[in-house]
Structure 1
């Protein structure tokens, strides 16, 4: 058992059972003498609801998440090629795909016993958008061990600090579908003192988690005022790049015409000089013959 494998399993379980499953996993590790692993498991943070929905998508509908990631690559390729027609086509696909995958994630959450709030679904959508916009964010999403949502402004790299439960999770583990916990239960023979201490730590951890989620929710509300402008500016940037491509193509065409006309003018001047010299010689000959 490794911290990566435990994290991959925990973050795909129902959100309302996360704390109990984490406690059971830490206890199981401790009982097998893996004290350091037990400490690492106990430190795994409970994910935000939006991040959990993303992890659930990766665990149960990884193909849908990979489709979002693939579309992001296609968009970046179209931007590099300055292809306005392809950009418009992919832009329409992007909106439809993000909405579709977000609905799937919300439905998975509901089936797992946690109906997602509007804020959680928004966090899910923003995370998928970040995965679409940034390859590094896509890699992070596909690990299936997010603890918070991701955001992208379409310009700067996505901030991934503190976004993952473990530093270097194994992506293949995140792709495994987890249908039920396989973690050992807490030994019922544990002393009363240890039980009380564990419960106290659990309450403290849950309080900290609730406070953190409240803070995230407040920040999300502030972000709602900014996101529309960022999306609009990103769209304007794509449009301007397409216009720039058209201008550069026309400039290249006019430059080619200018070069051609310059060569023709040079050739005409050469022919004119030759003709003038021939006329001059002919005049001199006529003059000699006349004399």
Structure 2
């Protein structure tokens, strides 16, 4: 490493320390540090005081709170490469929620250090985090933890990171652009994943439908069994009643015969009584 590169690294390291301080302490600390190091004095003195929004975003970077945002950025780039509109829509919703949550967290981190973040500064924090998700250069600037001004992504244009970082501007990670074969393979994998998810969803629905029908079948079988038992009880009652009715019919027939005989005897007795009374009256 050359002397110039060592000097750049040293200034960057000093910048990270200075930007960890609350903004109102920055200027005095920077001047004191510049006075104590003659070789780097000019470069250290050139470090600019960060805005409250930039300082709060630096807090997020130092606290390691931007990992989810960077992972989301990679997923968004992959979805864009794959032309996956459904995945882009889902990731965009997640991006908005995550950016808002991180802005809230940055405001809380600042508050914990005794710094109040205004509404305008909170908006700048949110725009900066969003820019880091949308643009690789902005992400590199934010992750340096040496941001001095807020960033903003506008449309499809690259985010302007000029003079946005104290010290040297961090380079972009060395990630080769995907080849046509890579994209084709990725899209095929995405299509297979979507097909698998759809198959799992269909299988889940079929399983739930099967469980529903099985439950209904069990209830119907139970009701059928109860009705069968009731029918058997009714049949037994009917057989008993039919037997009792036959017995009553036979008894009725017997009593009818006895009634007829008794009636005949009563008529004969009445005739004899009438004759006897007549004979007595004649005498």
TM-score (norm 2): 0.55
- 1:109 corresponds in structure 2 to 110
Provide Cα deviations, 1:83-132, integer angstroms capped at 9, x if missing partner: 22212221221111111111110111111121100111111111111111
Question: Is residue 25 of structure 2 the alignment partner of residue 17 of structure 1?
Answer: yes
User: Is 1:53 aligned to 2:61, yes or no?
Assistant: no
**Which protein shows a greater Rg?**
2
Q: Say what the alpha-carbon RMSD is for the aligned residues.
A: 1.8
Change in 2 beyond 3 A, CA 1:170/1:83: closer
1:91 aligns to 2:100 (yes or no): no
Whole-angstrom CA distance in 2 between matches of 1:25 and 1:100: 35
Distance 2:110 2:136 in 1: 25
On the 8 A contact 2:140/2:171 being kept in 1, the answer is no
Match of 1:3 in 2: 11
**Range with bigger deviation, 149-158 or 64-73:** 64-73
1:159 and 2:167 aligned: no
SS in 2 for 1:40: helix
Give yes or no for contact 2:70–2:132 (8 Å, CA) kept in 1.
yes
CA contact (8 A) 2:137 2:171 kept: no
Count of matched residue pairs: 164
TM-score, scaled relative to structure 1: 0.54
**Is the CA contact 2:148–2:165 (under 8 Å) kept in the aligned structure 1?**
yes
Q: Partner of 1:42 in structure 2?
A: 45
* Larger RCO: 1 or 2 (CA < 8 Å, sep 6+): 1
Misfit runs of 4+, over 2 Å: 168-171
Q: CA 1:170–1:10 in structure 2 vs 1: closer, same or farther (change >3 Å)?
A: farther
Change (3 A) 1:157 1:59: same
Q: Name stretches of at least 5 consecutive residues in structure 1 with no aligned partner.
A: 30-34, 172-291
Could you list the per-position Cα deviations for residues 18-40 of structure 1 after superposition, in whole angstroms to 9, with x for gaps in the alignment? 112112211222xxxxx231121
1:120 matched to 2:121? The reply is yes
C-alpha spacing 1:38/1:127, structure 2 compared with 1 (3 Å): same
Q: 1:24 to 1:169 in 2, by over 3 A?
A: farther
Q: Which runs of 5+ in 2 are unaligned?
A: 1-6, 173-283
